[in-house]
Amino acid sequence: MSSILLSELIVFGQTLQSIRKKSGYTQDELCLFSNVDRSFISELENGLKAATFPTIISLTKALNIKVYVFMKLY
């Protein structure tokens, strides 16, 4: 994996974690509301995995934020 992609995954994960915490959710709660496995959420937040667009949609809906707003923050 290229270093550029790795740095993008890290920034994506930091953004996701920041929004999740500001929303007052734990990873377990986000898992319940988004139907995304908690361990996968952890891997996303740590920049270890990349999210598909359907996963991003599930997460942003659970966090009550529009996809385009999330992408602007990212």
The reported pLDDT for the residue numbered 14 is: 97
Asked whether residue 1 carries a pLDDT value surpassing 70, the answer given is: no
Q: How far is residue 62 from each of residues 12, 23, 52, 72, measured CA to CA in Å?
A: 17, 10, 16, 18
What's the pLDDT tens digit per position in 39-55? 999 999 999 999 999 99
What's the pLDDT tens digit per position in 12-71? 999 999 999 999 999 999 999 999 999 999 999 999 999 999 999 999 999 999 999 999
Name the pLDDT band for 5 (thresholds 50, 70, 90).
Answer: confident
What domains are there in the chain, each with its CATH number?
A: 3-73 (1.10.260.40)
Asked whether residue 2 carries a pLDDT value surpassing 90, the answer given is: no
